[in-house]
């Protein structure tokens, strides 16, 4: 008799187990969903500022019948450029000499020439990397460089000397923007915004919005540094009360 009761209880337990097992995930899923109710948004902070640093490459190219003469002339012009930059008021840390290249120039060969080619000239090329911390004087600097012997100006770009504080300002604006968006969504959805659950920083920096350089012969060069945008993006997850 006792054995029959035990067997009957075991059978009833096996029958009830699937029903309980099927209900438990539903209750568990509902509980997790309630605990995980949240609003995830992206915030963007943008700070516009006028660049206060200009960086350029001033190139010098010389050519002569011999390699020695080409290098000597190149050294002479470069030395003159350094003197003029010192007179202009640039610090030594803002002027950096780049590599100097020497290239042999060969005349055009005729089809019936079998002899080894002989260079007709040698060309020396080199650059100075110049950083100017007073962008309002950039036009004067360009004229000074060309008058002193630089025959190529390239790589002009503008930068910000101390971007850190501006990036922090953009971060604050990004968080404020994220909260504004979350409040908007919560209000439209008829719920109340809770505490911040997670913050994740996204991208940074931005392009120069306006940039123009025009070298003028015999007159001051015209430049426009425009504005640089510093952008910070942030992803924020808010709980729903």
Q: Could you report the per-residue pLDDT of 77-92, keeping only the tens digit for each?
A: 999 999 999 999 999 9
Percentage with pLDDT > 90 across the chain: 66
And the tokens for 234?
Answer: 């942030």
Half-sphere exposure of 186 (CA within 13 A, CB side): 21
What pTM value is reported for the model?
A: 0.64
- In three-state form (DSSP H/G/I as H, E/B as E, the rest C), the secondary structure along 113-142 is CCCCCCCCEEEEEEEEEEEECCHHHHHHHH
Among the listed residues 136, 131, 134, 147, the one whose alpha carbon sits nearest the alpha carbon of residue 84: 147
Residues 150 and 221 in one domain: no
State which of 159, 180, 200 marks the end of a domain.
159
Q: Is residue 2 part of a domain?
A: no
Helical spans, DSSP H, in 36-152: 67-88, 138-148
Half-sphere exposure of 104 (CA within 13 A, CB side): 7
- Terminal CA-CA length for the chain: 57
How many structural domains does the chain have?
2
Q: Is residue 207 part of a domain?
A: yes
Q: Is residue 25 part of a domain?
A: no
For residue 45, the cross-strand partners are 232
Residue 221 scores a pLDDT above 70: no
**pLDDT tier at 227, thresholds 50, 70, 90:** confident
Q: Is residue 12 part of a domain?
A: no
Residues 189 and 127 in one domain: no
Among the listed residues 52, 199, 77, the one whose alpha carbon sits nearest the alpha carbon of residue 131: 52
- Do residues 236 and 178 touch, judged by C-beta distance below 8 A? yes
Q: Is residue 188 part of a domain?
A: yes
Domain hosting residue 136, numbered range: 53-159
Q: Is the dihedral of CA 74, 78, 79, 84 positive or negative?
A: positive
Range of lowest pLDDT (7-16, 88-97, 143-152, 183-192) = 7-16
Residues 100 and 190 in one domain: no
Q: What are phi and psi of 13, to 5 degrees?
A: -65, -40
From CA 97, how far away is CA 133, in angstroms rounded? 18
Residues 202 and 111 in one domain: no
Q: Could you report the per-residue pLDDT of 19-65, keeping only the tens digit for each?
A: 333 333 333 333 333 347 999 999 999 999 999 999 999 999 999 99
- Read off the CATH number of the domain in which 83 is found: 3.30.70.2970
Among the listed residues 106, 147, 149, 156, the one whose alpha carbon sits nearest the alpha carbon of residue 126: 149
Q: Is residue 4 part of a domain?
A: no
């Amino acid at each position: 008799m006792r054995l029959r009761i035990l067997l009957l209880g075991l059978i009833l337990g096996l029958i009830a187990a699937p029903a309980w097992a099927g209900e438990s995930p539903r209750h568990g899923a509902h509980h997790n969903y309630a605990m995980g109710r949240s609003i995830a948004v992206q915030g963007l902070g943008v700070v516009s500022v006028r660049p206060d640093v200009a960086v350029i490459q001033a190139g010098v190219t010389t050519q002569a019948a011999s390699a020695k003469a080409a290098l000597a002339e190149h050294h002479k012009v470069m030395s003159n450029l350094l003197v003029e930059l010192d007179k202009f008021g640039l610090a030594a840390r803002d002027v950096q000499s780049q590599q100097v290249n020497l290239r042999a120039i060969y005349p055009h060969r005729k089809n019936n020439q079998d002899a080894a080619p002989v260079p007709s000239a040698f060309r020396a090329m080199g650059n100075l990397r110049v950083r100017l911390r007073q962008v309002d004087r950039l036009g004067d600097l360009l004229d000074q460089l060309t008058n002193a012997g630089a025959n190529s100006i390239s790589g002009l770009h503008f930068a910000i000397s101390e971007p850190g504080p501006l990036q922090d300002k953009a971060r604050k604006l990004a968080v404020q923007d994220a909260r504004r968006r979350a409040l908007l969504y919560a209000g439209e959805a008829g719920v109340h915004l809770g505490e911040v659950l997670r913050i994740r920083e996204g991208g940074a920096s931005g392009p120069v919005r306006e940039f123009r350089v025009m070298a003028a012969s015999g007159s001051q060069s015209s430049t426009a540094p425009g504005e640089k945008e510093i952008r910070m993006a942030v992803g924020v997850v808010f709980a729903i009360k």
